Copies of this chain bind each other. A is one copy, B any other.
Amino acid sequence: MTDSRDATPTGGPVSPSTSVLRPLGPDEVRLVGGFWAEKQELNATTIINHCLTWMERIGWIGNFDRAADGSVAQHHDGIEFVDSEVYKLVEAMAWELGRTPNPVLERTYGSLVARIAAAQEPDGYLHTSFGRAGQAPRFSNLEWGHELYCFGHLFQAAVARVRTGHDDLIVDVARRLADLVYVEFGPGGRDAICGHPEIEPALAELGRALSEPRYLELARIFIERRGRKRLKTTLFQSSEYFLDDIPVRDADVLRGHAVRAEYLAAGAVDVATEFGDVGLLDAVKRQWANTLNGRTYLTGGVGSHHQNEEFGSDFELPADRAYAETCAAIGSVMLSWRLLLQTGEAKYADLIERTLLNAVLVSPREDGQAFYYSNTLHQRTLGSIPAENELSERAEASLRAPWFEVSCCPTNVARTLASVASYFATTTTAGVQIHQFGDLDIATSVNGSPVRVEVRTSGYPFDGHVSVTVDARDEIELAIRVPSWAEGADASVGGEKLVVDGGYVRCRRVFDPNEPLLLDLPMTPRLTYPDARIDALRGTAAVERGPLVLCVESTDLPGDAQVDAVRLNGAGATKTALGASVSVEIATPLAAAWPYNATRSADAASETVVELRPYFQWANRGPSTMRVFIPLAGD
């Protein structure tokens, strides 16, 4: 069924033809224990199966069977982009199979790919919602049809298969479809783009993976076509929503629909890289910096408008209306990773860590069977518990839901967790770079010479002790990122202190495998104050601890107090096992008929100590109220 031929994997999801840092393939880097390996195990044993079970039950996979047997126009389940969810699951399975061979999963995977392939039409077209009698014609609704978007996720699934050492059925399917798209939309074809970017980075990567310049060229064309206001707008969705307002290279900041913006920017980096387009790369770097400066939540989450799932204006970052879609956070990681590879600058790795640990990991429930789609930073009322067997709305004030009517996030989490080791380390001709912390085995080569690196932590991200052992014959440089939050970090080899330079400690030598580089990252909780321009956060502080953003959850408050009664005393915070304990006042708001008064309200308050816990873990203990930014007492 899965007619595997050998392919030589290079890199993970992203493998540019030229870069400052070389990404490692799944055969070169593995998470072998600890926090991240547990998350990958949860993904392997639970999340992937959860996605498969749901999509079988509600007919999203069945759409492909009905497309194959000719009945899908009469009976199609779900909205017009559910194909993409199946593709993201196929991608997740491919990465997972590359991580850990598993005959049962291999059979499931092969069967699923065969059902997809059976739905492909003779000319290569493949979408379950378009083109048949009784359906809208192909490419008749580029604004909202998500056809090219779905194709993009199919291409990324194929890339995962190639990068894990196979060139088999899904790759054939992707190749035939991409060839059709090239004819339809390439030079001399339709002068058009998709409402939802995604095919741009996907085509670039498929082109890289299959050494097919036409796909790269088409990615370039799609990027260049953007910004001409050709996509038809609606009462609610402007050209900005579609990122069709101005050319990519002319924009100063990410805007519009957050997921679309991140995916498009990622594709623009790919195109800039492959075509040596320095101007385009600089434009995306500028957009990244301005987005970080004014449009990013403390968690790394992006997109503050529920309306259209859009970015807000600069400094418009309300905690209680944070949309901060899980997929937008994943898109942000995709973008930062591409920029890290192109620049080697630690700030991109800093944002990846912040985003993965806080804005992405908050999505799955601890048991892996429910997810957040949007991720508020302030829950004012006790959330409801979603029905176990019904599709949930995506922005409900509820606990995590098993599945959504639009369910892009669970499968996006699955493919990200399955390939997350890719983001931890890189090589150059000089040596090895460690960007993220986890229990990691690296087996690669530097300048043709084999190098093994073992990274071990004593409980990261909760504990800051990191030990790195290098086994290499020749002298190499080991670079380890020291996060920007880790002021006072201590690094040494054999008693020799190392200094931080440009966000990394660097040590060049012939390493003794028995003498690890030791890094000690401070885990003392620290108060973080928002910029005065963020109106929604004035007079508050958050508490961070290592790479984790903490939060106060009503579950940890005395009695039936809710988080909006809590005022943080500025006296500092004390480390606990997972979070921090802080002194707070619990205020009793004065009753009033009109919430605007001639005097500043002076609520009665009692002092107590409460524990703040990691934000990503919130709402795992039943309905609660929660906030990340806590009003300061006395303000």
| Contact A596 B531, beta carbon cutoff 8 Å | yes
| Contact B406 A528, beta carbon cutoff 8 Å | no
Interface SS of A by simple majority: loop
Question: Which residues of B are found within 8 Å of A306, using beta-carbon distances?
Answer: 305-307
**Smallest CB–CB gap between A343 and chain B, Å?**
15
Count of this chain's copies in the oligomeric assembly = 2
Inter-chain CA distance A347–B594, complex, in Å, is: 10
**Smallest CB–CB gap between A461 and chain B, Å?**
18
Specify which of B321, B529, B587, B593 is in contact with A600 (CB 8 Å cutoff): B529
| Contact A603 B319, beta carbon cutoff 8 Å | no
A526 within 8 A of B: yes
A527 within 8 A of B: yes
| Contact B529 A596, beta carbon cutoff 8 Å | yes
A595 within 8 A of B: yes
**Smallest CB–CB gap between A395 and chain B, Å?**
8
Q: Mark A463-491, 1 if CB is under 8 A from B, else 0.
A: 00000000000000000000010000000
Specify which of B312, B380, B598 is in contact with A529 (CB 8 Å cutoff): B598
| Contact A589 B318, beta carbon cutoff 8 Å | no
Stretch of A24-32, A129-137, A193-201, A537-545 contacting B (4+ beta carbons < 8 Å) = A537-545
| Contact A540 B542, beta carbon cutoff 8 Å | no
Question: Given that A235-B405, A380-B314 are contacting pairs, would A294 and B595 also be in contact in the complex, using a CB cutoff of 8 Å?
Answer: yes
| Contact A318 B315, beta carbon cutoff 8 Å | no
Residues of A565-606 whose CB lies within 8 A of B: 587, 589, 592-601, 603
A564 within 8 A of B: yes
**Smallest CB–CB gap between A580 and chain B, Å?**
15
Specify which of B533, B592, B595, B601 is in contact with A564 (CB 8 Å cutoff): B533
List chain A positions with a Cβ less than 8 A from chain B: 79, 235, 238, 289, 292-294, 296, 298, 305-307, 312-321, 347, 378, 380-381, 393-394, 397, 405-406, 484, 526-540, 542, 564, 587, 589, 592-601, 603, 631, 635
Question: Which residues of B are found within 8 Å of A320, using beta-carbon distances?
Answer: 313, 316, 535
Specify which of B406, B533, B539 is in contact with A635 (CB 8 Å cutoff): B539
Question: Which residues of B are found within 8 Å of A484, using beta-carbon distances?
Answer: 594
Inter-chain CA distance A400–B601, complex, in Å, is: 36
Specify which of B319, B528, B531 is in contact with A598 (CB 8 Å cutoff): B528
Residue of B nearest to A406 (CB): B235
**Smallest CB–CB gap between A628 and chain B, Å?**
11
**Smallest CB–CB gap between A396 and chain B, Å?**
9
**Smallest CB–CB gap between A120 and chain B, Å?**
29
Question: Which residues of B are found within 8 Å of A289, using beta-carbon distances?
Answer: 593
**Smallest CB–CB gap between A64 and chain B, Å?**
23
| Contact B587 A527, beta carbon cutoff 8 Å | no
| Contact B529 A601, beta carbon cutoff 8 Å | yes
Of the listed residues A312, A347, A596, the one surrounded by the most CB atoms of chain B closer than 10 A to its CB is A596
Question: Which residues of B are found within 8 Å of A596, using beta-carbon distances?
Answer: 298, 528-531, 542
Inter-chain CA distance A589–B532, complex, in Å, is: 8
| Contact B315 A321, beta carbon cutoff 8 Å | no
Inter-chain CA distance A316–B393, complex, in Å, is: 21
Question: Which residues of B are found within 8 Å of A312, using beta-carbon distances?
Answer: 321
**Smallest CB–CB gap between A436 and chain B, Å?**
19
Complex A-B: 22 CB contacts under 8 Å? A292-B593, A293-B594, A305-B306, A305-B307, A313-B381, A316-B320, A318-B321, A318-B536, A319-B535, A347-B593, A528-B598, A529-B596, A529-B600, A530-B595, A531-B601, A532-B589, A532-B603, A532-B631, A535-B536, A538-B539, A538-B631, A542-B596
| Contact A531 B599, beta carbon cutoff 8 Å | no
Inter-chain CA distance A594–B305, complex, in Å, is: 20
Question: Which residues of B are found within 8 Å of A542, using beta-carbon distances?
Answer: 596
| Contact B592 A315, beta carbon cutoff 8 Å | no
| Contact B593 A293, beta carbon cutoff 8 Å | yes
Question: Which residues of B are found within 8 Å of A296, using beta-carbon distances?
Answer: 594-595
Enumerate the 9 nearest inter-chain pairs by beta-carbon distance, A residue then B residue, closest first. A531-B595, A539-B539, A538-B539, A306-B307, A307-B307, A529-B600, A536-B536, A528-B596, A538-B538
Inter-chain CA distance A313–B532, complex, in Å, is: 24
Question: Which residues of B are found within 8 Å of A535, using beta-carbon distances?
Answer: 318-320, 378, 536-537, 540, 631
Beyond A530-B595, A542-B596: 15 further Cβ-contacts under 8 Å?
A: A79-B235, A293-B592, A293-B594, A296-B594, A315-B595, A318-B321, A528-B598, A530-B597, A531-B595, A533-B595, A534-B595, A535-B537, A535-B540, A538-B539, A538-B635
Inter-chain CA distance A1–B596, complex, in Å, is: 53
Residue of B nearest to A306 (CB): B307
